[in-house]
Amino acid sequence: MNRLAQFAAGAAGAVALFAAPTAAAAATTTTAATTTTCGSSGLQAGLSTKVCADVTGDSVVLYGQIGLAGPPSPGTPWPPHVEVLTTLSGDVVGGASLGTSQGRAVFTGSTLRIDGVAGTVPCGSTVHASFGVEAIWRLPAPVTVDVPVVC
């Protein structure tokens, strides 16, 4: 192959290489933004808890969070080891249930996220979520949040 043919082949390859990202960028679609809303923190089983909802369009994902309620007392073994039972539930206000998730978790000092309830809801509705945590000799005092779904 002569030099002119090699140059032409290289130039054609470079044009194809640089043209591909432009075509790919034009094909990119926009996605709906996710809005996270959390309720007020509560004290359950000696731990700080809250319930949150991620809303993207008409999709809702509910989750609970468990964290330390404050600094550990002097002489407390570290990391703490608290076994808890959790209940996460959600429903559309005046409508259908999104479900309930119950489970067992072990809190060891780091913030713990409890997932398990999600769904698609009608635009303009409100989702009510509840998160309860109980440990031995400590009953739950569920935390809640109401979230509007604006599409």
Pair (48, 105) in one structural domain: yes
pLDDT at 51: 97
d(CA 59, CA 139): 31
**Chain-centroid distance, C-alpha 44:** 21
CB atoms within 10 A of CB 65: 18
Same domain, residue pair 22 and 84: no
Burial environment of residue 92 by CB neighbours within 10 A (0 to 12, 13 to 18, 19 or more): middle
Name residue 98's amino acid.
L
Q: How many CA atoms lie within 13 A of 60 on its CB side?
A: 33
Adjacent-strand bridge partners of 99: 90
Q: Which tens digit of pLDDT belongs to each residue from 46-93? A: 899 999 999 999 999 999 999 988 877 787 777 778 899 999 999 999
Range of the domain at 16: 1-30
Peptide bond just before 77 cis, omega within 30 deg: no
Please measure the distance between the N-terminal and C-terminal CA atoms of the chain and give it in whole angstroms. 61
Q: How far apart are CA 51 and CA 127, in angstroms?
A: 12
pLDDT, tens digit, 9 for 90 and up, residues 96-109: 999 999 999 998 88
pLDDT digits (tens, 9 = 90+) for 28-49: 555 679 999 999 999 988 899 9
CATH code for the domain of 104 = 2.60.40.10
Residue 98 and residue 53 share a domain: yes
- pTM, full prediction: 0.75
Number of independent structural domains in the chain? 2
Say if residues 109 and 68 touch (Cβ distance below 8 Å): yes
